[in-house]
């Protein structure tokens, strides 16, 4: 590994164009420091696309703000993640398009136009670059550094902490970096010629549905995210935070499957990083958090031969919460065995039911029965307490067909809310499963069965990822949501409820962490919770590769050096 130092930056002369020394605050829209029209036209001359002026998703419903928009389209597509990600100013969780002033007033652009009558810009960035190439990203980064702008990187806008938006900011929108290149004998830069991978290289804007379609054409499958419509980004925040998948118990997490990353630094330098060059940055980009070290322009992932997949779906109707606690507790207790057997999947609770959907690649019919029968037998013992169950099995000829069956349609975005999550370790599932179930039943939460198995076998120090993942089997989630127009006082009340679930789950599992990509702005001891013992090393790598401190996001590595709004350095 070749060390990268500030001296080498000086040698290239890049540092000379950096921000004024001793800067404390970033520049936001409306301030006198904001670039004027002729400065923006200079930027325009350096990039391939017209500069963008993002608007909130509902702007088309306010002719005064967006005269050419079509509100019917907006209403029809509001909850569609693929549609939302195609709009530079739309966030998947619309509350992050709004901005709450200290006095409680919310600047918003609600879909329901009668609530305020006007479309406010809220937290949506005001101007930015629709990047299509590395050169576009470099021009945008140089411009932001030169003018000490508050910068955000937005890919799909799925971030659960609103980190792809910031009021008055300049945005680098990666959505249209859509290149996909499949290479059955990919050799990382700097690697010996015989180190080959059957791999696919995805541009920063590729989304999971596109990646899956592409590798399926070659008879391959890959570790990736799952959401209705497949709208989550495949090479942005997902990988930066860790990247979980129903295939993770068999093949590891996203960070375990990335073999090379390309990235533009705040200095404007473009690096290709992997285990052979800049391996410290490669390590940090795999789990050390999004928008912290640089702007990723592509990721190369391993692919696997497409295999047949078994599906196991379970649903139980439950009469009351004490029965629910017993059933959910036992399910948690069974998880380690399920994931070690190769099952991965997703589950949810409502006030009257528990359901989950498991999948396993390349499992025989006999193994399906053998690995689920004890659980089914157990659930039948609850029949006298009014629990009714359905167990459903199905074989799919390929992973892709399983994915199409469950995720190709449906919607799950466009709802205001915040979530918290917790990674439950093997130890917790062995010893605290009843206590965990109590919290989960109380919040009517979700759970992702995406740890265990291979995830737990990989060296915790092989990636910057939170080491808590290497003990984790299940990720639980609790959340709150609210309709447009909810007053800030009521929203604060919802967030207090969220905080109380955070506290309850933390108290039961003080040694387990949380997934930085599916969490709230209120996690206890966030550095430890999200990054564990890797925090200090990640901070060193951040400081080394981002000397201009361009990249800062809420609860990201190094963000403790900034004020609450992440505008001024402390
Ligand atoms: C409906 C839904 C389903 C989900 N399913 C899964 C799942 O199955 N598995 C899973 O692990 N997670 C899942 N997530 C969580 C998901 O991983 C995170 O929301 C993730 O941050 C999304 O990344 P993005 O690039 O798509 O979104 P964005 O909001 O655009 O970006 C997220 C963060 O990464 C930064 N970022 C984005 N691109 C870059 C880049 N090129 N360079 C540097 N920084 C960048 C942004 O600045 C932001 O801070 C899901 C989320 C939702 C809302
Ligand atoms: C824009 O700002 C630059 C730098 O401050 C200044 O030199 C230039 O005159 C300004 N241009 C206009 C049109 O105001
Ligand atoms: C808006 O879109 C809808 C559906 O696509 C279409 O029927 C309608 O004519 C459009 N309205 C305008 C004003 O373009
Ligand atoms: C949005 O909704 C309209 C119907 O109004 C539909 O025709 C169109 O396909 C949708 N667009 C997207 C991108 O989903
Ligand atoms: C709250 O503060 C904002 C921004 O300063 C201001 O525009 C708004 O009028 C204030 N609202 C109230 C109710 O005072
Ligand atoms: C829009 O908001 C108004 C005022 O609160 C309310 O009466 C109406 O029902 C809302 N409309 C929809 C479609 O939610
Ligand atoms: C995308 O692929 C095309 C064709 O191979 C190539 O010309 C272009 O440079 C690539 N873009 C990026 C950003 O890699
Ligand atoms: C920085 O901004 C100044 C003033 O607008 C401009 O003259 C200069 O070319 C810019 N430098 C870079 C590297 O963009
Ligand atoms: C590549 O070749 C070297 C030298 O012949 C050998 O030591 C190494 O094991 C090979 N690696 C792989 C991945 O085949
Ligand atoms: C799939 O399972 C069969 C046996 O059931 C085994 O022979 C084969 O190696 C497995 N394939 C993969 C890719 O794991
Ligand atoms: C489940 O119950 C059936 C029928 O009572 C029994 O034959 C089987 O051995 C049990 N299996 C397990 C794993 O408990
Ligand atoms: C829950 O249901 C079970 C079985 O019907 C019953 O024994 C128990 O008393 C109920 N508990 C509550 C709190 O209603
Ligand atoms: C649960 O209840 C619903 C509605 O009463 C019913 O349609 C469904 O079949 C039941 N499911 C199970 C697993 O008993």
Closest atom of ligand 6 to 112 CA is: 1
Element (H, E) at 317: strand 309-317
Q: Residue 536 pLDDT > 70, yes or no? A: yes
Distance 323 CA to ligand 12 centre (A): 7
**What's the mean pLDDT when you consider all of the chain?**
95
**C-beta of 381 in contact with ligand 11 (< 6 A):** no
**C-beta of 364 in contact with ligand 10 (< 6 A):** yes
Cα torsion for 519, 523, 525, 527, to the nearest 10°? 20
Q: Tell me the mean pLDDT in the region 458-469.
A: 98
Distance 101 CA to ligand 5 centre (A): 7
Atom 8 in ligand 4: residue holding the nearest Cα = 73
Distance 184 CA to ligand 9 centre (A): 18
Q: Residue 16 pLDDT > 60, yes or no? A: no
- DSSP code, position 50: P
Ligand 2, CB within 6 Å, residue ranges: 36, 38-39
For 180-305, CATH gives 3.30.465.10
**Ligand showing the shortest atom-to-Cα distance for residue 376:** 11
The arrangement of secondary structure in 6-176+534-561, i.e. its CATH architecture, is: 2-Layer Sandwich (3.30)
Distance 73 CA to ligand 3 centre (A): 7
pLDDT digits 0-9 by tens, 150-198: 999 999 999 999 999 999 999 999 999 999 999 999 999 999 999 999 9
pLDDT digits 0-9 by tens, 478-513: 999 999 999 999 999 999 999 999 999 999 999 999
DSSP codes, 139-175: HHHHHHHHTTB-EEEESS---TT-TT--TT-EEEE-T
**C-beta of 75 in contact with ligand 6 (< 6 A):** no
Closest atom of ligand 9 to 195 CA is: 13
User: Ligand 10, from 198, 306, 308, 362: best to mutate by most atoms within 8 Å of Cβ?
Assistant: 362
Q: Given the DSSP bridges, would you call strands 170-173 and 127-130 parallel, antiparallel or unpaired? A: parallel
Which residues fall within 8 angstroms of residue 164, CB to CB, at 6 or more apart? 91, 96, 152, 153, 154, 155, 156, 157, 158, 237, 291
User: Ligand 2, from 20, 39, 41, 43: best to mutate by most atoms within 8 Å of Cβ?
Assistant: 39
Distance 6 CA to ligand 3 centre (A): 55
Ligand 9, CB within 6 Å, residue ranges: 192, 194-195
**C-beta of 364 in contact with ligand 13 (< 6 A):** no
pLDDT-above-70 percentage for the chain: 96
Q: Is-contact 340 453, C-beta < 8 A?
A: yes
**C-beta of 21 in contact with ligand 6 (< 6 A):** no
**Ligand showing the shortest atom-to-Cα distance for residue 177:** 7
**Ligand showing the shortest atom-to-Cα distance for residue 191:** 9
Q: Residue 22 has what pLDDT?
A: 64
pLDDT digits 0-9 by tens, 262-273: 999 999 999 999
**C-beta of 279 in contact with ligand 13 (< 6 A):** no
Q: Is-contact 141 149, C-beta < 8 A?
A: no
Distance 193 CA to ligand 8 centre (A): 42
pLDDT category at 455 given cuts 50, 70, 90 is very high
Q: Residue 20 has what pLDDT?
A: 59
Q: Given the DSSP bridges, would you call strands 258-264 and 270-273 parallel, antiparallel or unpaired? A: antiparallel
The arrangement of secondary structure in 309-532, i.e. its CATH architecture, is: 3-Layer(aba) Sandwich (3.40)
Distance 399 CA to ligand 11 centre (A): 30
Q: Residue 465 has what pLDDT?
A: 98
Distance 69 CA to ligand 3 centre (A): 9
User: Ligand 12, from 385, 386, 441: best to mutate by most atoms within 8 Å of Cβ?
Assistant: 385
Q: Tell me the mean pLDDT in the region 101-110.
A: 97
**C-beta of 203 in contact with ligand 7 (< 6 A):** yes
Asked whether this chain's domains 6-176+534-561 and 309-532 adopt the same fold, the reply is no
pLDDT digits 0-9 by tens, 72-99: 999 999 999 999 999 999 999 999 999 9
Q: Residue 10 has what pLDDT?
A: 36
Q: Is-contact 194 292, C-beta < 8 A?
A: no
Domain residue ranges in the chain: 6-176+534-561, 180-305, 309-532
Q: Tell me the mean pLDDT in the region 323-347.
A: 96
Four-residue CA torsion sign, 519, 525, 530, 535: positive
pTM of the prediction?
0.95
Q: Residue 19 has what pLDDT?
A: 59
Of 241, 29, 252, give the one whose Cα is nearest residue 126: 29
Element (H, E) at 180: strand 180-186
Beta strands (DSSP E) in 187-286 are 197-203, 220-221, 258-264, 270-273
pLDDT digits 0-9 by tens, 115-140: 999 999 999 999 999 999 999 999 99
Place of tokens 């609530």: 115
**C-beta of 103 in contact with ligand 5 (< 6 A):** yes
Q: Is-contact 198 175, C-beta < 8 A?
A: no
Q: Tell me the mean pLDDT in the region 35-47.
A: 98
């Amino acid at each position: 590994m070749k060390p990268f130092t500030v001296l080498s930056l000086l040698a290239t002369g890049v540092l000379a164009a950096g921000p004024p020394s001793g800067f404390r605050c970033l520049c936001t829209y409306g301030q006198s420091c904001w670039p004027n029209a002729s400065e923006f036209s200079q930027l325009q001359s350096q990039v391939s696309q017209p500069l963008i002026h993002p608007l909130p998703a509902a702007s088309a419903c306010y002719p005064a703000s967006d005269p050419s928009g079509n509100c019917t389209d907006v209403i029809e597509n509001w909850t569609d993640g693929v549609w939302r990600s195609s709009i530079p100013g739309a966030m998947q969780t619309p509350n992050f398009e709004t901005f709450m002033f200290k006095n409680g007033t919310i600047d918003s652009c609600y879909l329901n136009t009668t609530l305020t009558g006007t479309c406010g810009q809220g937290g949506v960035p005001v101007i930015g670059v629709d990047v299509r190439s590395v050169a576009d990203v470099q021009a945008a980064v140089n411009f932001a550094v030169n003018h000490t702008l508050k910068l955000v990187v937005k890919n799909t806008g799925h971030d659960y902490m609103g980190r792809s938006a910031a009021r008055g900011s300049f945005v680098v929108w990666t959505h249209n970096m859509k290149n996909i290149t499949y290479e059955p004998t990919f050799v990382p830069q700097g690697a010996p010629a015989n180190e080959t991978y059957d791999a696919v290289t995805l541009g920063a804007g590729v989304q999971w549905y596109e990646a899956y379609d592409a590798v399926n054409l070659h008879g391959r499958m890959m570790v990736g995210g799952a959401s209705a419509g497949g709208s989550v980004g495949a090479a942005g925040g997902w990988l930066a935070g860790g990247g979980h998948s129903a295939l993770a118990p068999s093949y590891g997490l996203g960070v375990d499957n990335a073999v090379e990353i390309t990235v533009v630094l705040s200095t404007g330098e473009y690096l290709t990083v992997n285990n052979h060059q800049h391996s410290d940055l490669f390590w940090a980009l795999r789990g050390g958090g999004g928008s912290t070290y640089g702007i990723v322009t592509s990721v190369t992932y391993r692919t696997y031969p497409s295999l047949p997949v078994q599906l196991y779906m379970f649903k139980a109707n439950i009469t009351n919460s004490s029965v629910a606690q017993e059933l959910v507790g036992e399910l948690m207790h069974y998880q380690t065995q399920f994931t070690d057997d190769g099952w991965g999947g997703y589950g949810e609770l409502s006030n009257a039911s528990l359901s989950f959907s498991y999948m396993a690649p390349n499992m025989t019919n006999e193994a399906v029965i053998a690995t689920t029968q004890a659980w089914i037998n157990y659930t039948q013992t609850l029949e006298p307490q009014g629990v009714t169950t359905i167990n459903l099995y199905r074989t799919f000829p390929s992973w892709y067909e399983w994915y199409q069956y469950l995720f190709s349609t449906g919607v799950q975005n466009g709802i205001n809310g915040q979530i918290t999550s917790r990674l439950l370790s093997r130890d917790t599932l062995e010893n605290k499963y009843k206590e965990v179930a109590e919290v989960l039943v109380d919040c009517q939460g979700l759970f992702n069965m995406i740890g265990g198995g291979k995830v737990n076998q990989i060296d915790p120090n092989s990636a910057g990822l939170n080491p808590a993942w290497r003990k984790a089997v299940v990720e639980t989630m609790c959340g709150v949501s609210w309709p447009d127009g909810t007053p800030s006082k009521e929203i604060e009340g919802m967030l207090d409820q969220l905080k109380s679930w955070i506290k309850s789950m933390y108290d039961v599992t003080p040694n387990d962490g949380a997934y930085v990509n599916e969490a709230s702005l209120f996690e206890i001891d966030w550095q430890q919770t999200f990054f564990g013992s890797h925090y200090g090393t990640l901070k060193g790598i951040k400081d080394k590769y981002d000397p201009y401190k361009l990249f800062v996001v809420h609860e990201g590595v190094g963000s403790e050096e900034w004020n609450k709004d992440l505008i001024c350095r402390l």
